[in-house]
Amino acid sequence: MNIGILLKEGPYNHQASDTAYKFAEAALARGHKVDAVFLYNDGVTNVTRLMDPPQDDRNIAERWSRLSKEHGVEVLACIAASKRRGISDEILIEGGEITGLGTLTDIAIRNDRLITFGD
């Protein structure tokens, strides 16, 4: 099954980021294809290189970067949401990209399922 993920919450303040990441890992382990993760609203803050969690905490941005590099998953941040939060290409994680909201429609069309995480 081809899966797209929509993540609408930021890291560390809501469980949506962790749940979305764990879902993607589980889907890949079961042989499904995770095509793309589209970050919307506060979800765009998942892909900044500016976060620097303590050593004993998980690095959510690094998780998304690794997922992109190791499994070819597109990690896409909405341009309007990014601009509202001061996020630009210069501070994105490796594997992250800023794109338009129309890309979310494309993800929904080309995949069997679009799973949403967050309010």
As annotated, the active-site residues are 78
Instruction: Give the C-alpha separation, 104 to 87, whole Å.
Output: 18
Instruction: Give the C-alpha separation, 68 to 86, whole Å.
Output: 23
Q: Please work out, in degrees rounded to the nearest 5, the angle formed at the alpha carbon of residue 74 by the alpha carbons of 53 and 56.
A: 15
